[in-house]
Structure 1
Amino acid sequence: MSFVLLDRPREHVALITMNRPERRNAMAFDVMIPLRETIERVSRDNDVRVIVLTGAGDGFCSGADLEDPGPLPDIDGLTLPSIARRAMEELEDVVLALRKAHQPVIGAINGPAVGGGMCLSLATDIRLASETARFRAAGINNGLTAAELGLSYLLPRAIGASRAFEIMLSGRDVTAGEAERIGLVSRTVPAPDLLEECYTLASRIAAYSRLGVELTKRMLWSSLDTAGLQSHLEHEGTAQLLVRLTTRNFEESIRARKDSRPPDFMD
């Protein structure tokens, strides 16, 4: 049985599904390592313009698998502290793979995203949630820190510092409705419509310039790291000039408007 599925539901759209529904797609290593490998492989597929990430069954990802974490590769001869560090790196690499993907990643949050699953959802670029979704920074509930896999970096940037502090320190559930209200997800939709809504959004994005979309993703993430406005303006200006001066996309957009047709961006 494959714990990660890859499908092509629409032209230029890849659907990656974590496929361990009986464990609500918990973060066992035999799920997360193939997931990272699949994201990296799809990132290099130049026919894919947008990635959709979801979970099989009625859950997105339930966080750490406390019953069967699966095999961790290449740990022969390591002591327990080194093994623990390697384990965290394997999970961290999934978050980084989502961020580094050439394509935008839409998270189709189809159910609970708990602990590391919440972190995984925050690593996607856009999040749409079903009405059955819920989020919880569960580390604090387990006597640990809620700050894991980038959550203390990503969550305040998504919803603001005060809300992030309250959610991470209280260990409470955030419903789909609240998640939409505070900006944790872009919108919520009925569960049967979730993937189709994601595909419709993905197809809209895929119609634009490949280079323009990728650089927009890069600039948005860069803005979260930048030290100041002037530095970021220089990054944005360079990216805009690159597309403007090395492609005929702008001229094509003008022709398309005059002809009352969708533009065909060839980069």
Structure 2
Amino acid sequence: MDWSQRGSEGIIVTEPQPGVIQIRIDRPDTRNALTIEMFDVLHGLAMDIGRDDDARIVILTGTGPAFCSGFDLRQAEMLTEAGPLGMLRLQDRAADAMLAWRALRIPVIAAVNGDAAGGGLALALIADIRLAAAKARFSAAFVRVGLSAGDLGTSWTLTRLIGPGRAAELCFTGRFVDAAEAANIGLVNAVIEEEQGDLLAASLRMADAIMANAPGGVQLSKRALQANMEAASFSAAIELENRGQALLTRTADMVEAIQAFREKRTARFVGN
């Protein structure tokens, strides 16, 4: 596949060496903020990469001084005016991209060249390996704009990566974590200091080390790591869902919903 033809406005796709696909968020004037349309592009790229048998590694990075500053707040008006179901559809579009990236059969390396905040942090967390420039910073900035850190998988990935206590602190405060602290708490695999050379060169060295091994072994290793990390989460999720459903079947609204269905009318919910 000719990856040089797969870019779009705000996203540059290259193949720096055979088997290595580099995705660069390219909106430096917005500190590489993401639009809802860019989530659609990222989703499509993940699907295409998954179908490319020659693809072995993905490197995700940003242009300029930032990795990704999260969702472009210039589209924030869209979020407040969409209505609950409209907002859910927008949220699903973004979430679909994250799910597609997590489901990639090949390893993803995030080369975090600068600030990764909000959705940018979520994007870094969805990678299998994170390498950070010394100037990189990380922030679960959602609460600073009135939103929840339960966004784009952050509450799931961050908790499993650094533990519930640290995740709670970062999500509740929205503070920035510098590269050194990020390495100390396990948020990144390594910090690439200036004397060690270019961050992307270090990412390519990591890619080379991975590609030196059997593709099938690497891919099934990724599948095993993800499946076994999610096994406990799935049972916990089922337990929580079961309790929630059991509780909701005891409410007046559940009775009303069934009655309205039988009477072919709109249900009148009262919230109890």
TM range (shorter): 0.7 to 0.9
Q: How much has 1:200 moved relative to structure 2?
A: 0.7
Alignment-mate amino acid for residue 59 of structure 1: A
Partner residue, 1:165:
168
Which residue of the partner structure matches residue 63 of structure 1? Answer: 70
Unaligned stretches of 5+ residues in structure 1: 73-78, 229-267
Task: Tell me if 1:213 matches 2:213.
Answer: no
* Distance 1:7-1:70 versus aligned 2 partners, 3 A rule: farther
Q: Secondary structure at the match of 2:74?
A: coil
Please state if 1:45 is matched with 2:48. Answer: no
Larger Rg: 2
Q: Which runs of 4+ in 1 moved over 6 A?
A: 69-72
| Partner amino acid, structure 2, of 1:98 | W
Pair 1:28-2:35 in alignment: yes
How many Å apart are 1:80 and its aligned residue?
Answer: 2.3
Q: Distance in 1 between matches of 2:43 and 2:119?
A: 14
How far is the alpha carbon of 1:71 from its aligned partner?
9.2
Distance in 2 (alpha carbons) for counterparts of 1:71 and 1:173:
27
1:176 positional shift: 0.7
Q: Distance in 1 between matches of 2:143 and 2:9?
A: 32
Within a 5 Å distance, the mapping from 1:181-196 to structure 2 comes to: 181-190=184-193, 193-196=198-201
Whether the aligned pair in 2 keeps the contact of 1:29 and 1:71 (CA below 8 Å) is no
Percent identity, please: 40
What corresponds to 1:261 in structure 2?
A: none
Once the two structures are superposed, residues 22-57 of structure 1 have per-residue CA deviations (whole angstroms, 9 ceiling, x without a partner) of 111112023221122112212211111111011111
**Cα deviation digits, residues 218-242 of structure 1 (max 9, x gap):** 11111211139xxxxxxxxxxxxxx
Cα distance in 2 for partners of 1:227, 1:52 equals: 29
Q: CA RMSD for the aligned pairs?
A: 2.1
Aligned partner of 2:132 among 129, 132, 139: 129
Structure 2 partner of 1:96:
99
* Structure with the larger RCO, 1 or 2 (CA within 8 Å, 6+ apart): 1
In the superposition, relative to structure 1, how do residues 205 and 21 fare at CA in structure 2: closer, same or farther (>3 Å)? Answer: same
- The aligned counterpart of 1:226 is 231
- Give the Cα separation in 1 of the matches to 2:56 and 2:97: 19
- TM-score, structure 2 as length reference: 0.77
- Structure-1-length-normalised TM-score: 0.78
Q: Any stretches of 5+ residues in structure 2 without a counterpart?
A: 1-7, 234-272
Conserved 8 A contact 1:119-1:150? yes
Give the 3-state SS of the residue equivalent to 1:222 in structure 2: helix
1:108 to 111, 114, 117: 111
Three-state SS of the structure 2 residue aligned to 1:185 is coil
Secondary structure, counterpart of 2:232 in structure 1: coil
In the alignment, what sits opposite 1:248?
none
One-letter identity of the residue aligned with 1:194: L
Q: 2 CA distance for matches of 1:227 and 1:168?
A: 22
In structure 1, how many angstroms separate the alpha carbons of the residues matched to 2:190 and 2:173? 24
Aligned length: 223
Q: Secondary structure at the match of 1:147?
A: coil
Select which of 16, 31, 36 maps to 1:9.
Answer: 16
Whichever residue aligns with residue 43 of structure 2, its letter is R
Q: 1:226 to 1:141 in 2, by over 3 A?
A: same
Cα distance in 2 between the residues matched to 1:202 and 1:117: 22
**Amino acid paired to 1:108:** A
Q: 2:250 — aligned with what?
A: none
Deviation track 1:103-148 (CA, whole Å, cap 9, x = no partner) reads: 1000011111101111111011100011111111111112222221
* 2-structure distance, mates of 1:44, 1:207: 21
* Whole-Å separation in 2 of the counterparts to 1:143 and 1:30: 22
